[in-house]
Amino acid sequence: MKHTIPSTPAVAARQPVNHLQPLLKIALDVHLAWYVVALQEDGASPKPPQRFQPADFLKWVKTKVAGYQVVTCYEAGPFGFTLHRQLTALGVTNYVIRPRNWDDDHRRIKTDRTDALAMLNALDRFCAGNKKALALVRVPTPTQERQRSQTRLRQSLVRDLKMLAGRGRGLALQYGYRLKGDWYGHRNWPQWQEELPTWLTRLLQPLRDSALFLYDQVRKLTEAIQAVSVRPRPKGMGALTEQVLVREVGDWSRFKNRRQVSSYLGLCPSENSSGPRRQQGQVTKCGNPRLRWALAEMAWRLVRFQPDYRLVKKWKPRLLDRHATAVRRKQIIVALARGFGVDWWRICTGQTTPEKLGLKIGE
């Protein structure tokens, strides 16, 4: 029997297909202390799942590569892509897939064993030619992964900084005082020291010290990220936003059409249609949340700094309509963000230029 493994750009390093070797399909439910492994040889019935220590599993796979064409898959998660690179180094074709609920029959039974077996069934269909059986995750290069981690770390620190600032405001509110804005800053803190009682400033001091430290770390990370941006950018797109787009996407050429771009952004409208009835709802939010945040934030800047941009000409009159509700304005900004995301993909892949779209390049 000949076996055909679907080709995909989502795998960083694929191994050549050997049609003479039997196919060994392995699904992994990955944990820190152990891997739950479900395997199937060619078209035989799946074997009962078994548990391996991580080091023992790699040794076991190494013994199987000599006699089998090994294909594995596991869900993307907190362990990154280290296991993927270890498997490909052994000669294995590995797929990193999107996490999902494997209880398709809604039996309300979820264990490592059931997840591994359900994942194995999907891998079997995928190897048989059904490319939609698995939702593949693109594996970045080590350099791309480190760069993306830097921007994500900055975003996490910003979130922690806001949490500390909010905790300080809550503490002051408990005693009848209302702190505003960045109360911990060097400019604002002397004013609060005069207005607040001494005992309250002492309570707030540990939170202020932590907030100042995080603020300094965020500033340094921001400067380091912005320093890498050398590409000419449209006015309204900062260096930080440009780097977030670059590092989250990795390679814009992996998208074949605008629908794939919109889907990855998660800015496509949801739909519930049947027969002649068509009903669209809120955006699906099934894509990259960091890109949605960056594009939605930048859409407001486009309205201000890019009056000649074709999408701003289309949406700005509706956005400024005095009868437009807050919900409607939010919908317009989402549409503008989705459209710019597609246009930026076209620019990055050489399909068009900023000048053709009416975008002014910033100084």
Does some domain include residue 317?
yes
Residues 103 and 176 placed together within one structural domain of the fold = no
Contact status, residue 358 vs residue 310, Cβ threshold 8 Å: yes
Residues 129 and 162 placed together within one structural domain of the fold = no
Tell whether the model's pLDDT for residue 272 goes beyond 50: yes
Does some domain include residue 4?
no
CATH number of domain containing 75 = 3.30.420.140
Does some domain include residue 3?
no
Per-state percent for the chain, helix, strand, coil, to nearest 5:
50, 10, 35
Contact status, residue 241 vs residue 155, Cβ threshold 8 Å: no
**Among candidate residues 228, 247, 279, the one where a domain is terminated:** 228
Residues 305 and 345 placed together within one structural domain of the fold = yes
Instruction: Average the pLDDT over each of 206-210, 214-218, 279-283, 331-335 and give the range with the smallest value.
Output: 279-283
Residue appearing with tokens 């949340």: 289
Tell whether the model's pLDDT for residue 16 goes beyond 70: no
Tell whether the model's pLDDT for residue 349 goes beyond 90: yes
Residue-averaged pLDDT of the chain: 90
pLDDT band at 1 (very low <50, low <70, confident <90, very high): very low
User: Distance (Å, rounded) from C-alpha 150 to C-alpha 243?
Assistant: 10
Does some domain include residue 138?
no
Residues 71 and 35 placed together within one structural domain of the fold = yes
- Give the domain range for residue 49: 23-133
pLDDT at 7: 53
Provide CB contacts within 8 A for 113, sequence distance 6+: 36, 38, 48, 49
pLDDT band at 160 (very low <50, low <70, confident <90, very high): very high
Does some domain include residue 120?
yes
Tell whether the model's pLDDT for residue 20 goes beyond 50: yes
Tell whether the model's pLDDT for residue 133 goes beyond 80: yes
pLDDT band at 42 (very low <50, low <70, confident <90, very high): confident
Does some domain include residue 2?
no
Entry field: residues in the chain: 363
Does some domain include residue 44?
yes
Counting the structural domains of the chain, the total is: 3
Q: What is the DSSP string of 112-152?
A: HHHHHHHHHHHHHHHHTT-GGGS-B-PPPPHHHHHHHHHHH
Does some domain include residue 16?
no
Question: How confident is the model over 206-253, as pLDDT tens digits?
Answer: 999 999 999 999 999 999 999 999 888 999 999 999 999 999 998 999
Residues 37 and 96 placed together within one structural domain of the fold = yes
Residues 31 and 109 placed together within one structural domain of the fold = yes
